[in-house]
Amino acid sequence: MSFSLIVPVRNVNRSAAYMLKVRNLTLGCAKMAAFDSSSDSWISNSRPSTWSVISTGICLAAASVFRCNLERLPQGCRYSFTACKLPARYDMGFAQRRSGRFGLTKYNHICPACGSADCRALPVPHPTRSMISDGSVTGKPLKRSSCTNCGHGFHFESLSERDVREIYGDNYSIGLRDTAAEVERSLEYDRQVRGFLADLGSETHFTKIIEFGCGSGTLLNHLTTNLEAEFGIGVEPSAKVAAYASSIAGERVSIQQGFAEQFADTAQRDTLCLSVNVIEHASNPLAFLQACARTIDETGRILIVCPDGEAAGSELLFYDHISSFTSRSLATIAARARLTAIADAPLIGVLKGFRIYLFRLMATVVGSNCGDFQSLADQRIDYLRTWSKIAGAVDQTLVGQKYGVFGAGEYCDLLHAYTPAIIEGAMFLVADRPLEKQLYDKPVISTEEFLKSAPISLIAAVHERNWRVIHDRFKLASVPMIHPFEVVSQDALR
Ligand SMILES: [Zn+2]
């Protein structure tokens, strides 16, 4: 075990670093490191005599957080930290926040799923911005790592409680922009979840269904009816959404406000514990799975749907996705919650990109052997690097031309977050079924209206997997259209 305390510094070359020294009492060795936020690089093994403490206040704050003792150093530096009780898997640091206040940042050098240190940093798609699932922009860069042992994707800098609170504030509105589409998706989830269970044969009878993160409760209402369960319980953290879910809850369905981890009912026979696109947001996926495991006995099942992390894709771009799961990494964490996967399968059609898992309790914990996820890390690196190059590539391709953006949904939000200049430069946005008249200060017009006017070039703000279909559709109407990804790969279809 080795511990280090890492302190961000500004302009190290000009003003010298904050100095901290951490002594690992167990091994009796000391480690030093500093992070230069001006150049985004780590400085380690610097000689203490070249550093000086320029803020004793920070050191005192650090000492109180880590319950460290401060002692005077014999020469060169004024303070050191000793006897720090730091978790072995984290280096700790202080980051100066935009507010000017100092907070705590955890750096995850080790995979939170399997504990491997073989992790690769992924490219940062934008230096100062990233996107939250509801389309809003946060002023923090997206810094992820990919484990080459189990394929798990995770934030290199852990999100603090405050970061999480900021994400899920009152304005968090996922699914509320297009409620009709959300209802359609719920119907499709209902159909595919039941299909998946039916394929497993005897797995379709449940007395009770519990859904963690039930949102509007639409899926829970459908499943309770269609699986002929006696009752359904939906648990939803947002008060506003929980109130709405209660108002449309079916006869046998009840809604509770709260987090999965707070759910206190005792396990009953034949329970299905369900969660759809929740676990990737959990700040502690193990605690979430343990909460799921508490709801079932040996007759129950846990059904989880989450983005399929086995292929690099847009789910990596969502800042509030704490985890990108592979089957392997989810199984590794599940084993620690005494759960074992019975089956898993990719979802299809409009739900492509998501994966469904079914777990049951297991008597003994089995260690998982992991594999080689180098190529997944390579794919993720390529994918995020492409995003970091889109703005420049599109700018070069269009050189001063007028253009519009086709699509006003999630992909448009992603372009707005990571390549804001593309949206800013557009004349308008085009959508088959405009939901609002304006988005990002641009008028949103219907495809019909667009085709009536002299068509200008369009940038496709559509998911890579739908690009070919959209391209062919507009080709028939002789509209020049490019997709940002193809521009970057210099393979743009004209
Ligand atoms: Zn791992």
Gap from CA of 332 to ligand 1 centroid (Å): 8
CA separation, residue 8 to residues 37, 96, 115 (Å): 6, 8, 25
Query: What is the Cα–Cα distance from 43 to 63, expressed in whole angstroms?
Result: 21
Gap from CA of 114 to ligand 1 centroid (Å): 4
Segments of the chain assigned to CATH 3.40.50.20:
400-488
Q: Using an 8 Å Cβ cutoff, are 20 and 81 in contact?
A: yes
Q: Tokens at residue 489, please?
A: 């790969």
- The pTM of this model reads 0.76
Segments of the chain assigned to CATH 3.40.50.150:
179-361
Which sign does the torsion angle of CA 283, 290, 247, 193 carry? positive
What is the fold of 400-488? Rossmann fold (3.40.50)
Gap from CA of 23 to ligand 1 centroid (Å): 28
Least confidently predicted of 153-167, 230-244, 320-334, 470-484: 153-167
Gap from CA of 57 to ligand 1 centroid (Å): 37
CA separation, residue 383 to residues 61, 269, 281, 319, 484 (Å): 39, 44, 21, 15, 12
Average pLDDT of the segment spanning 403-429: 94
Gap from CA of 378 to ligand 1 centroid (Å): 15
Gap from CA of 113 to ligand 1 centroid (Å): 5
Tell me the HSE value of 141 on the side-chain side, using a 13 A CA sphere: 15
Gap from CA of 151 to ligand 1 centroid (Å): 6
Which of 198-212, 316-330, 461-475 is modeled with the greatest confidence? Answer: 316-330
Give the burial class of 91: count Cβ atoms within 10 A of its Cβ; 0-12 exposed, 13-18 middle, 19 or more buried. buried
Which pLDDT score, from 0 to 100, does residue 152 have?
96
Average pLDDT of the segment spanning 341-366: 90
Q: Is 179-361 CATH 3.40.50.150?
A: yes
Query: Mean pLDDT of all residues in the chain?
Result: 78
End-to-end CA gap in the chain: 57
Gap from CA of 155 to ligand 1 centroid (Å): 13
Q: What is the pLDDT of residues 361-375, one digit of tens each?
A: 987 766 666 778 999
Smallest CA-to-CA distance from 116 within 87, 150, 145 is with: 150
Gap from CA of 40 to ligand 1 centroid (Å): 25
- Tell whether the model's pLDDT for residue 405 goes beyond 90: yes
Place of tokens 């009770």: 208
Q: What is the pLDDT of residues 417-445, one digit of tens each?
A: 999 999 999 999 999 989 889 999 999 99
Question: Given pLDDT bands bounded at 50, 70 and 90, which one contains residue 160?
Answer: confident
